[in-house]
């Protein structure tokens, strides 16, 4: 199952899931988790480990629209700082 491909919200390229940042809106409480463990279920979005893609995903709230939840500024800051 290593070759499951996911689309980056920033650049739109398809890449292997394990080569991407995963953001999941946890079903139980709606909290956004960065690179959650396999027991976390919810709506997910994917990003390349790449500054440009992260920044692009914030333009026009793209990432928020994909996840159907507002991405907190704190989390955006974390991602931009490379904390994932
Ligand atoms: Zn990308």
pLDDT, tens digit, for every residue of 32-43? Answer: 999 999 899 999
Cα dihedral sign for 2, 49, 44, 7?
negative
> Contacts by 39-46 with C-beta closer than 8 Å and gap 24+?
43/67, 43/68, 43/69, 45/9, 46/6, 46/7, 46/8, 46/9, 46/15, 46/17, 46/20, 46/21, 46/22
Are the CB atoms for 5 and 14 separated by under 8 Å?
A: yes
15 CA to middle of ligand 1, Å?
8
| pLDDT band for position 14 (cuts 50, 70, 90) | very high
Q: For residue 68, what pLDDT is reported?
A: 96
Domains of the chain as residue ranges with CATH: 5-80 (3.30.1230.10)
The percent of residues above 70 in pLDDT, for the chain, comes to 98
16 CA to middle of ligand 1, Å?
11
22 CA to middle of ligand 1, Å?
12
């Amino acid at each position: 199952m290593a070759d499951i491909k996911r689309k980056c919200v920033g650049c739109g390229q398809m890449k292997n899931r394990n080569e991407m940042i995963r953001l999941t809106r946890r079903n139980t409480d709606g909290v956004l988790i960065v690179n959650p463990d396999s027991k976390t279920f919810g709506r997910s979005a994917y990003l390349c480990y790449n500054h440009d893609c992260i920044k692009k995903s914030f333009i026009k709230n793209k990432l928020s629209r994909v996840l159907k939840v507002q991405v907190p500024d704190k989390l955006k800051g974390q991602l931009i700082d490379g904390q994932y």
